[in-house]
Amino acid sequence: MVSSQAIEILQASFPPDRVALPASEAYSERNGSYASKLESDILPHAIFLPETTAEVSQFVKIIHPLVQEGDFQFAIRGAGCQPLPRCANIQNGITLDLSRLVGTTLDETQGIVRIPAGERWGSVYKTVQEKGLAVTGARSGNNGIGGLALSGGLSFFGTREGFISDNVVNYEVVLASGEVVNANRQENPDLFVALRGGGNNLGIVTRFDLRTFKQGNFWGGALFYFPASFGGQIDALVTELNKLDPSEETHIMISLFYAEQFSKAMGLDGAMGLNQAYYTQEVEKPAVLEPFTDIQPQIDALNSMRMTNLVDAAEEQAKQAMTGVRCAYMNTAVKADGPTLHAATEIFRPALEKVKSIDGMVSSFTMQPYPVSLLKRTEPAGGNVLGLDPADGPLVSILILLYWNNQTDDEVVLSTARGVIEAIDKDAAAKGTLVPYKYLNYAFDFQDPIGSYGQENKKKLQDASRKYDPDGLFQKGVPGGFKLFP
């Protein structure tokens, strides 16, 4: 078998602890540590654990001819937070696990933080916060770097600072040849732009350099409420999104939320509302957030609104996240239109009734705004391939997020959620408010986020692939994720 041949070569070329086989403790720990069991169900023949960029380069040089000559394939894993099956793992191949590439460094002179691909955002935040700085990254400190920095991504500061990927000023990339290059506005600028949305299609990014900015404490947190006035929250969101100022200092997520265990403990049978709202200046109880924070009736014991900082806010969201269970994300995007968002919630409600009795069910209909101020940051930052025009905004991303316990429930959960997304798309299309864009990091296997960027941007990605990966290593050899060619 070609994979057996690859394992033998890797074992002969690297220290013993770099290649983890199925019987080993390292294999069990790494393969069991994905955020979703949909990924952990997949069993590679081996997991390769490099500790340096040079070792990643050597790995690529070894496996490239094997991909060309035979049926060998591999996967690329950063933190393993994206729940799409096979996006970061592979059955009967080799998974390249970048978790040992760590050691964040801050260059205050240049205003840049250099983040190896195996880091988590919480560690990055501690490094920059010590110097009174911040960076656009995940809202959960436990999340990894690559999935967000290669696909767009929202942060606490996105409304003011732009997408996470638009704040990357340089990518260190191992190309299909094994060559290590930098991609930025001066070096390989076409690759630089393509990586801002291109996912795992163009190379293995081993380090991400992001711009930093001054940031102190800010106001924010989460609160739970009873959803009788959920429609009012939608109206407030749409109103806020259409403000130019002071909305640049706000970050808001609104969820219609159901959790089996939580609901039983509270004696409830239906969904609740969950608002996560932030104002990124040191202003206590800012008036602009009142429509989202003063809603009643709410559960006072579960209200965490307070003056906070980047490290603490990210730790709070990390504690709220679930890992090691079955998980799926599906998403779409629409214009910030009240009737469209109201209709979407009414599509979700009856679908929830179909699945809420499933063991361990947690389901969320989450709306995340893409204000015009966010979309305007792309061009000055050098561009990306997401295909989002400020003239089309403001927009709202709709995420269906699902957790459950048993594999036997996969089909009903996934088909129900897919039906919700497809029905929302159909309704929004009829209203003229559907946006083609699908966020890659939240997409599922029936969706086409690369195609949603538009024909021109897809061509940019394909051209970059032909230039930097002429043999198609990352198209043929890395089947997981969303590919550039049919």
Which region holds residue 304: left if phi is over 0, alpha if psi is between -120 and 50, else beta? Answer: alpha
Instruction: Indicate the pLDDT class of residue 242, thresholds 50, 70 and 90.
Output: confident
Per the prediction, the chain carries an average pLDDT of: 95
Of 127-131, 299-303, 452-456, least confident by mean pLDDT is 299-303
CA distance 95 to 172: 20
**pLDDT tens-digit readout, 53-110:** 999 999 999 999 999 988 899 999 999 999 999 999 999 999 999 999 999 999 999 9
pLDDT of residue 1: 57
Count of alpha carbons within 13 angstroms of residue 124, beta-carbon side: 30
Enter the tokens of residue 22.
Answer: 């199925």
pLDDT of residue 189: 98
Instruction: Indicate the pLDDT class of residue 170, thresholds 50, 70 and 90.
Output: very high
Instruction: Indicate the pLDDT class of residue 337, thresholds 50, 70 and 90.
Output: very high
Q: Is 8 exposed, middle or buried, given 0-12, 13-18 or 19+ CB atoms closer than 10 A?
A: exposed
- Name the amino acid, one letter, at 174: V
CA distance 59 to 47: 12
Indicate whether 270 pLDDT > 70: yes
Q: Is the dihedral of CA 76, 80, 86, 91 positive or negative?
A: positive
**Mean of pLDDT values over 242-267:** 79
With beta carbons less than 8 A apart as the criterion, state whether 147 and 441 touch: yes
**pLDDT tens-digit readout, 14-24:** 999 999 999 99
**Mean of pLDDT values over 191-213:** 98
Task: Calculate what percentage of the chain has a pLDDT beyond 90.
Answer: 88
**pLDDT tens-digit readout, 342-392:** 999 999 999 999 999 999 999 999 999 999 999 999 999 999 999 999 999
Task: Calculate what percentage of the chain has a pLDDT beyond 70.
Answer: 98
Q: Is the dihedral of CA 149, 207, 88, 363 positive or negative?
A: negative
- Name the amino acid, one letter, at 222: A
Question: Where do we find the tokens 């002071």?
Answer: 246
pLDDT of residue 293: 95
Of 30-34, 169-173, 318-322, 373-377, least confident by mean pLDDT is 318-322
Predicted TM-score of the model (pTM): 0.96
Indicate whether 3 pLDDT > 90: no
- Name the amino acid, one letter, at 424: I
Q: Which residues of 364-384 are buried (b: 16+ CB within 10 A; e: fewer)?
A: bbbbbbbbbbbbebbeebebb
**pLDDT tens-digit readout, 119-151:** 999 999 999 999 999 999 999 999 999 999 999
**pLDDT tens-digit readout, 462-480:** 999 999 999 999 999 999 9
Pairing of strands 250-259, 306-308: unpaired
Count of alpha carbons within 13 angstroms of residue 383, beta-carbon side: 12
Q: Is the dihedral of CA 447, 439, 401, 343 positive or negative?
A: negative
Enter the tokens of residue 388.
Answer: 């989002």
Q: What are phi and psi of 465, to 5 degrees?
A: -65, -45
